[in-house]
Amino acid sequence: MRYKFFIPFALIGIFLCLLSALWAYLQIGFINESDSTIGYVTNFKYKYSRSINQGYYHYHRHRLMYYPIVTFTDKKDQKRIFTSSLGSSPSPYDIGQQVKVLYNDSTAKISDFRTLWSGIIFIAFMGTIFSAIGFYLPYFLAKHSENYRMNLLNNKRHKRKHKYKILRKNKRK
């Protein structure tokens, strides 16, 4: 097989697409089974991002990431505090800002599109890219190879439709 190089791309793409579908299924289940309330951003947990390494040059660019700490009261009137798993720089929230919170007995999350769906969309996008490389690129390369074009030109069905003359090697007189 001429295009064995692309098989791992196809397998990784399928795996990432299935992973994003499973994650979306679990996320929808969490959203449907959780309770909703209003919480307040009380503080931030600060972390520095790692340095960027590009070949010979090393860029030590430390970026401060903000992870909001949210306090809310659940339906049993217990005060609960959690740190969001999604951080950013700069922070989209201010201290004291109200946020919608989805929670169950074990986990709590800020209920906005970015927090709930950005990871799933990223994994699905990467799966789509890997699948396109693994499945479409071999087809594209085979279709545009010289043998394919010559076979297409010499095929009797396409002789009449093609505007150029087709020269045959073994032409009988």
pLDDT tens digits along 79-110: 999 999 888 888 889 999 999 999 998 899 99
Given a cut of 60, is residue 132 above it in pLDDT?
Answer: yes
Read off φ and ψ for residue 12, nearest 5 degrees: -65, -40
Residues 97 and 41 sit within 8 Å (Cβ to Cβ): yes
The mean pLDDT value for 127-139 works out to 89
* Inter-residue contact 64 to 89 (CB < 8 Å): yes
Retrieve residue 37's tokens.
Answer: 């309330």
Which residues neighbour 30 within 8 Å (Cβ) at sequence distance 6 or greater? 102, 104, 107, 109
- What's the rounded Cα separation, in Å, for the pair 66 and 91? 6
Per residue in 5-48, pLDDT (tens digit) is: 788 999 999 999 999 999 999 999 999 999 999 999 999 998 88
Q: Which two tokens stand for residue 61?
A: 């660019």
Strands (E), the chain: 35-48, 52-54, 57-59, 64-73, 79-83, 98-103, 108-110
Q: What are phi and psi of 161, to 5 degrees?
A: -80, -25
Is the predicted pLDDT of residue 165 greater than 60, yes or no? no
Encoded tokens for 66:
């903000």
Predicted local confidence at residue 5, as pLDDT:
79
Whether 142 contacts 3, CB under 8 Å: yes
**Per-residue model confidence as pLDDT tens digits over 50-76:** 655 555 555 556 678 889 999 999 999
pLDDT band for position 120 (50/70/90)?
Answer: very high
